[in-house]
Amino acid sequence: MTTPDSTEDLPTNWGRWGPDDELGTLNHISDAARARGVAAARMGRVVSLALPVRPAPLAGPVPFATGPQPAGVMQMMNFNGSPTRALTDVLIVNTHHGAVTHIDALAHIPLGDQVYPGVPIARAVVGGTVQHGSTTPFAAGITTRGVLLDLAPQGRLRPGHLVTGQDLDEAEQRAGVPLESGDALVVRGGWRIADHLGEPVPAMTVDAVRWMAEREVSLYAGDIGDPPPIRPSGPLAMHQVALARLGMPLIDNAEVTALAAACHELDRHSFLFVVAAAAITGATGLPVNPLAIF
Amino acid sequence: MTTPDSTEDLPTNWGRWGPDDELGTLNHISDAARARGVAAARMGRVVSLALPVRPAPLAGPVPFATGPQPAGVMQMMNFNGSPTRALTDVLIVNTHHGAVTHIDALAHIPLGDQVYPGVPIARAVVGGTVQHGSTTPFAAGITTRGVLLDLAPQGRLRPGHLVTGQDLDEAEQRAGVPLESGDALVVRGGWRIADHLGEPVPAMTVDAVRWMAEREVSLYAGDIGDPPPIRPSGPLAMHQVALARLGMPLIDNAEVTALAAACHELDRHSFLFVVAAAAITGATGLPVNPLAIF
Amino acid sequence: MTTPDSTEDLPTNWGRWGPDDELGTLNHISDAARARGVAAARMGRVVSLALPVRPAPLAGPVPFATGPQPAGVMQMMNFNGSPTRALTDVLIVNTHHGAVTHIDALAHIPLGDQVYPGVPIARAVVGGTVQHGSTTPFAAGITTRGVLLDLAPQGRLRPGHLVTGQDLDEAEQRAGVPLESGDALVVRGGWRIADHLGEPVPAMTVDAVRWMAEREVSLYAGDIGDPPPIRPSGPLAMHQVALARLGMPLIDNAEVTALAAACHELDRHSFLFVVAAAAITGATGLPVNPLAIF
Amino acid sequence: MTTPDSTEDLPTNWGRWGPDDELGTLNHISDAARARGVAAARMGRVVSLALPVRPAPLAGPVPFATGPQPAGVMQMMNFNGSPTRALTDVLIVNTHHGAVTHIDALAHIPLGDQVYPGVPIARAVVGGTVQHGSTTPFAAGITTRGVLLDLAPQGRLRPGHLVTGQDLDEAEQRAGVPLESGDALVVRGGWRIADHLGEPVPAMTVDAVRWMAEREVSLYAGDIGDPPPIRPSGPLAMHQVALARLGMPLIDNAEVTALAAACHELDRHSFLFVVAAAAITGATGLPVNPLAIF
């Protein structure tokens, strides 16, 4: 197995669960983690972490009308007879678009010509679909305990702040609930990336990812990631280290404002975390609606 | 308001929650129903009710290769530089396809020129998208208690069996848990429609839908519906009565085999039921991965 | 056969070539018309009448980038291995978009519940495709003589000018070449509709369509049509009379500036006219690149 | 500039028309070639060289219906109000599919990390579209003289026959018309590849491509190419030598049966050859309907 350059000092799970593993850090979700999750759901109140996406019309009714494109989702209403017998549509989903809350499958980001945990791209993508490291394992549904670490409870992080393990430690202290192996980590920095394109929004560091590896985080969701424009040096902490090396599925573009408000109101930062991506296998990611259930 | 013919004796919720209602029977999901739901989740074991869908390649790597089409989902792998920097794809989702577990929005089936609860199609579909009765309310996430009624615990219903309210009553007795207002109803008859195309599979009757209306079911999922070929006389019980008149969202093509096995093994038929459709608004339905959490 | 209201005084070819005709005014293209066409091609100089369309990226490389949408054509570059072995793409074509030079098939515009020449929509569209009045006849290729009638040789028509048969007569005099049965008519008014959205651009009248019917025009291309916003009263002259009643295929959004310049330079207004739409059958229209060959 | 291995003895036009050339062998089409083309059109009879493509429904009206896929073209009929005001559709075009008669743009096949005439892929594909070597030059329309060389006038070539320059010489003798610089070459071997998948159909050799280079062929169409399965050794004569090195646009999957019959009937093998691809720029190829006009 060829090891990509300069990974010696980066955290990695390549090999930890075997050469064919497709679960990555979801392996941390034990029965105990799941039981901890449902124990945190007491009243049934549910908070969505998804940005609503209004589809752009693929073939608009007004021939010259325009709108933002490439869109995260496009829609075409189908003809079903005249008069119509049913209203149906086809959706075109551009999963990794910045306006779509989505989960990244492990094969999304290769390191050189390999994907987690060392499978050649030529073997991971066959026949026009992903055969290794795809969304397939997500089809079983993901449930575990989630913990919100709010890095800026009074507002938002400073522009360009680089989030470290110490930041996460301090937020954990404030949350009053220690992360345990298999928990999903939800982070709030107070910036909605789509509203700040091209600005120096906060970003995760490899140091923070190292903290996640040590705590055995199973899954990440948050408003902090590897913001464009991509930083010129070093690996992308979340995509090239957490996702590609640790095998940690990432939920990009999560909307955590309502969650933070609920945690504040209820005065607790843990909840049942449910990710029920559509059972579409072989994809590089899927739009999701992560739910925090209190 | 034009009232479609012959609806006098059919159950309806048109007008019950106002002329602009978009929730339909989801209005039955009270705080109590949600609390009942999380109370049924004790260990965190999760069972998916979704059929896995393997996308068909839209532009296959072999120029002459063919496969089944129209497919529920098609996939295009994107070019992201050579060598590639990321593996991404675009999905084309044909939601109402028979191989896709999906939720129908209330506007999916019109009655004449109106959709639930009496909104003209011309006002429900504007600008190439659905403005009334779409998937928009599903974006908040749906949680309630689910109850499985297994109509044929030892095997499967007879071919062509027409499910009545009495069948549901008897299954409820066997389940040992009475349905309460706002519960999600999951039904198993033992037939996977996709495996029996053109055969006389079991179907729901208006009598069964009347039972659902009386019990104030919030949401339906199951392997019994309005199977093709469409019966020549009378309304389609689930689509033209439950969905269009009651405003009850339907989860078509649910896979309930594993759920029935889990209920049998754990000796209980109630669970936390979670539907977390992607937050794509304005659509006529969405693929979903309904989860039963024990 | 139900006759749509108020068609008594409108020109029509319904029935002229039988109840199943799919050629419409292309029936006028005789061997003589084709011979006249090639006789007008003497040097091989070719002028395109198509607006160039740059596709919008369906899944752009920059996650947040946006551009005009719905677009006439969208493009997705395919992944073909890493490193890539071939550069391929998939195009999504929204034929009737205002930025696309395209040919309308006869079934494009129904009159009530029928399409030319009186076929019910329920019989014209079957199985998700057009079975009558589609692009199928265009697959053979269309060649005939074309004649440019320039309505404003020195500039452009007045805003809101309504083009009459007399206008066409006068332009024909200036052109110095009489239209003959089966010729393609190309008209220039000097307005590119896409540059004047919402402005009172010139439009065709039923009187002009009557002139085309009398001259037995086989095919229309030009920069004048039925501009949006649609005029509130009366039928749309080109779409509801010429296309739907005469069965005259229309080439919408033709770009005739270069053609007018070539006619002026060469001092003749006739040429070989070639329309070679891709042999995609069953569609409501297709993008085309009409060529004038001198 | 990196020169791909083993190109020393292969014919090439890299550099012949400058480092930024996008026309390739279309540069051979002089005014004289165009005039020769129209001189060959005497009666206006037109023969199409395109295979008709019936689109597959993307969202069929019958939920479980299936058909061959990936298809060359898929179709979605649009909802335009109920009752419908217009019949429109969206097409998804998978250009390089084996059932689609299409023209390959010069950038379609890279050699290593470069496309004709030595432009790096990273510069040829930018922003999700092709910026160098795309379909853009085809938008002007292509007209020249075409010559049919029928390699098997009495039937078809032997299975697995490898076509050489001598074969082309002999067919030219039979045709009775010498190829001149800038002519389009149309070849018939008598095999329709789609009907013989996996069989040893005839193929072109580098020797034949060398002949084309010497004759300064501008454009190739025919029923012989680089058939799948791809031969294990040596370059693909048409795609990796003619297209990628000579810069000769290829029309794949041309249907030449009717053309051969017309040549036989009229006793001449030359004609006006017209390729009028839709003016969609930036693509790797486009479906076309090549016309031979006699």
List domains and CATH numbers for chain A.
24-50+101-293 (3.50.30.50), 56-93 (no CATH)
Query: In B, which residues are within 8 Å of C84 by CB distance?
Result: 79, 82, 84
Give the pLDDT band (50/70/90) at residue C181.
very high
pLDDT at C64: 44
Give the bridge partners for A74, in sequence order: A56, A92
Cross-chain residue pair A55–B281, CB shorter than 8 Å: yes
Residue A24 CA to residue C107 CA, distance in Å, equals 54
Cross-chain residue pair A58–D82, CB shorter than 8 Å: no
DSSP secondary structure of C148-159: EEES-TTS-PPT
Residue B172 CA to residue B208 CA, distance in Å, equals 13
pLDDT in tens, A5-20: 345 689 999 999 999 9
What is the layout of strands, in order, in the sheet containing C291-293?
Answer: C46-48, C291-293, C270-275, C142-150, C184-188, C219-222, C250-252, C102-104, C285-287
pLDDT at D6: 45
* DSSP character at residue A54: P
pLDDT in tens, C37-54: 999 999 999 999 999 998
ipTM for the predicted complex comes to 0.94
* DSSP character at residue C121: H
pLDDT at D73: 85
Which one of C59, C121, C228 has the shortest CB-CB distance to A94? C59
Give the pLDDT band (50/70/90) at residue B244.
very high
Query: In C, which residues are within 8 Å of B82 by CB distance?
Result: 82-84
Give the bridge partners for A126, in sequence order: A129
For C76-82, what is the mean pLDDT?
91
Give the pLDDT band (50/70/90) at residue B289.
very high
Cis geometry, peptide bond prior to residue D4 (ω within 30 degrees of 0): no
Those chains having 3 or more beta-carbon pairs within 8 angstroms of chain B are: A, C, D
Those chains having 3 or more beta-carbon pairs within 8 angstroms of chain D are: A, B, C
The C-alpha of A264 sits at a distance from chain B's nearest C-alpha, in angstroms, of 19
Number of separate helices (H) and strands (E) present in chain C: 5, 18
Residue B21 CA to residue A272 CA, distance in Å, equals 30
Query: Chain-wide mean pLDDT for chain A?
Result: 91
For A76-94, what is the mean pLDDT?
93
Non-local CB neighbours of D75 within 8 Å, separated by 6+ positions: C128, C129, C282, C283, D55, D56, D57, D58, D89, D90, D91, D92
Q: Is B26 helix (H, G, I), strand (E, B) or coil?
A: helix
Q: Characterize C37-51 residue by residue with b for buried, 16 or more Cβ atoms within 10 angstroms of its Cβ, and e for exposed.
A: bbbbbbebbbbbbbb
Query: In C, which residues are within 8 Å of B87 by CB distance?
Result: 79
H or E stretch at B292: strand B291-293
- pLDDT at C102 > cutoff 60: yes
Among A144-153, B125-134, B224-233, which stretch is predicted with the lowest mean pLDDT? B224-233
- Give the closest residue to B294 by CA, choosing from B33, B40, B32: B40
* DSSP character at residue D231: P
H or E stretch at A170: helix A165-175
CA-based torsion, D279, D280, D285, D286: positive or negative: negative
**D189 touches D152 (CB < 8 A):** yes
- pLDDT at C66 > cutoff 60: no
Cross-chain residue pair C58–B90, CB shorter than 8 Å: yes
Which one of D74, D96, D110 has the shortest CB-CB distance to B63? D96
H or E stretch at C32: helix C31-39
For A124-139, what is the mean pLDDT?
96
Residue B6 CA to residue C94 CA, distance in Å, equals 41
The C-alpha of A261 sits at a distance from chain C's nearest C-alpha, in angstroms, of 27
Query: Chain-wide mean pLDDT for chain D?
Result: 91
- pLDDT at C223 > cutoff 80: yes
**B255 touches B101 (CB < 8 A):** yes
Chain B and chain D share a number of CB contacts under 8 A equal to 88
Residue A231 CA to residue A225 CA, distance in Å, equals 12
Which one of B58, B82, B90 has the shortest CB-CB distance to C82? B82
Residue B215 CA to residue B287 CA, distance in Å, equals 26
pLDDT at D88: 94
Give the bridge partners for C273, in sequence order: C144, C292
Residue C238 CA to residue A221 CA, distance in Å, equals 55
Q: C3 or B270: which carries more pLDDT confidence? A: B270
- pLDDT at A69 > cutoff 60: no
pLDDT at A1: 36
The C-alpha of B27 sits at a distance from chain A's nearest C-alpha, in angstroms, of 15
- pLDDT at C4 > cutoff 70: no
Those chains having 3 or more beta-carbon pairs within 8 angstroms of chain C are: A, B, D
Cross-chain residue pair C82–A197, CB shorter than 8 Å: no
Give the pLDDT band (50/70/90) at residue A28.
very high
From first CA to last CA, the distance across chain C in angstroms is 45
For D210-238, what is the mean pLDDT?
86
Give the pLDDT band (50/70/90) at residue A229.
low
Residue A22 CA to residue A119 CA, distance in Å, equals 10
Cross-chain residue pair A93–B95, CB shorter than 8 Å: no
For B117-136, what is the mean pLDDT?
96
Rounded (10°) angle between helices C165-175 and C206-215:
50
The CB density around residue B125, as the number of other CB atoms within 10 Å, is 29
For C58-80, what is the mean pLDDT?
68
Residue of A nearest to D79 (CA): A79
Give the bridge partners for C275, in sequence order: C142
Preferred mutation among D51, D76, D82 to probe B, highest tally of B CBs within 10 A: D82
Give the bridge partners for A252, in sequence order: A102
For C116-128, what is the mean pLDDT?
95
Cross-chain residue pair B77–C82, CB shorter than 8 Å: no
Look at chain A and count its residues: 294
Give the pLDDT band (50/70/90) at residue A200.
confident
Q: A56 or D243: which carries more pLDDT confidence? A: D243
DSSP secondary structure of D181-220: TTPEEEEE-S--GGGGTTS---EE-HHHHHHHHHHT--EE
Cross-chain residue pair C96–A122, CB shorter than 8 Å: no
pLDDT at D84: 93
Going through chain D in order, the beta strands assigned E by DSSP cover 46-48, 56-57, 73-77, 89-93, 102-104, 114-115, 119-120, 125-126, 129-130, 142-150, 162-163, 184-188, 203-204, 219-222, 250-252, 270-275, 285-287, 291-293
Residue C82 CA to residue B80 CA, distance in Å, equals 9
- pLDDT at C268 > cutoff 80: yes
pLDDT at B66: 47
pLDDT at C70: 57
The C-alpha of A207 sits at a distance from chain C's nearest C-alpha, in angstroms, of 26
Among A32-41, A122-131, C135-144, D133-142, which stretch is predicted with the lowest mean pLDDT? A122-131
Query: In A, which residues are within 8 Å of D84 by CB distance?
Result: 79, 82
Cross-chain residue pair C90–D86, CB shorter than 8 Å: no
Give the pLDDT band (50/70/90) at residue D65.
very low
Cross-chain residue pair B61–C80, CB shorter than 8 Å: yes
Residue D73 CA to residue C286 CA, distance in Å, equals 12
Q: What is the CA radius of gyration of chain A?
A: 20
DSSP secondary structure of B119-177: EEHHHHEETTEE-SSSSGGGGG-EEEEEEEEES-TTS-PPTT-EE-HHHHHHHHHHHT-
Residue with tokens 């008897």: B170
For D124-150, what is the mean pLDDT?
96
Give the bridge partners for D115, in sequence order: D119
- Give the closest residue to C222 by CA, choosing from C208, C241, C232: C208
Residue B184 CA to residue B191 CA, distance in Å, equals 20
DSSP secondary structure of B65-94: ----SS-SEEEEEBP-TTTTS---EEEEE-
Cα dihedral A108, A110, A115, A119 in deg (nearest 10): 130
The C-alpha of D211 sits at a distance from chain B's nearest C-alpha, in angstroms, of 28
pLDDT at D60: 61
From first CA to last CA, the distance across chain D in angstroms is 45
Distances (CA, A) of D20 to A80, A175, C233, D109: 49, 61, 54, 17
The CB density around residue A169, as the number of other CB atoms within 10 Å, is 12
Preferred mutation among A58, A62, A69 to probe C, highest tally of C CBs within 10 A: A69
Preferred mutation among B51, B64, B92, B238 to probe D, highest tally of D CBs within 10 A: B64
Cross-chain residue pair A34–B48, CB shorter than 8 Å: no
Give the pLDDT band (50/70/90) at residue A202.
very high
Cross-chain residue pair C90–B76, CB shorter than 8 Å: yes
Cross-chain residue pair A282–B139, CB shorter than 8 Å: no
- Identify the contact set of chain C against chain A, taking CB-CB distances under 8 A: 56-60, 62-71, 74, 79, 81-82, 92, 94, 96-99, 110, 113, 121-122, 125, 194, 197, 228
Query: In C, which residues are within 8 Å of D51 by CB distance?
Result: 279
Residue of A nearest to B40 (CA): A38
CA-based torsion, C202, C205, C211, C214: positive or negative: positive
- pLDDT at D172 > cutoff 50: yes
For C114-140, what is the mean pLDDT?
96
Tell me the one-letter amino acid at A68. Answer: P
Residue C272 CA to residue C294 CA, distance in Å, equals 6
pLDDT at C61: 54
Query: Chain-wide mean pLDDT for chain B?
Result: 91
- pLDDT at B53 > cutoff 50: yes
pLDDT at A6: 45
Among B195-199, B221-225, D45-49, which stretch is predicted with the lowest mean pLDDT? B195-199
Among B61-65, B130-134, B152-156, which stretch is predicted with the lowest mean pLDDT? B61-65
Give the pLDDT band (50/70/90) at residue D74.
confident
From first CA to last CA, the distance across chain B in angstroms is 45
Q: D229 or B46: which carries more pLDDT confidence? A: B46
Which one of A81, A97, A122 has the shortest CB-CB distance to C63? A97
Residue of C nearest to D38 (CA): C44
Give the pLDDT band (50/70/90) at residue B8.
low
**C19 touches C242 (CB < 8 A):** no
Among A133-147, B51-65, B102-116, D67-81, which stretch is predicted with the lowest mean pLDDT? B51-65
Among A234-243, B68-77, D17-26, which stretch is predicted with the lowest mean pLDDT? B68-77
**A159 touches A200 (CB < 8 A):** yes
Cross-chain residue pair A141–B279, CB shorter than 8 Å: no
Q: A80 or C48: which carries more pLDDT confidence? A: C48
Give the bridge partners for A57, in sequence order: A75
Helix/strand/coil percent split, chain C, to 5: 25, 25, 50
Cross-chain residue pair B69–D79, CB shorter than 8 Å: no
Cross-chain residue pair D276–C274, CB shorter than 8 Å: yes
Chain A and chain C share a number of CB contacts under 8 A equal to 86
pLDDT at C197: 73
Query: Chain-wide mean pLDDT for chain C?
Result: 91
| Structure tokens belonging to residue A252 | 């990009």
Distance of CA C61 to the CA centre of its chain: 35
- pLDDT at B256 > cutoff 50: yes
| Structure tokens belonging to residue C25 | 């005014």
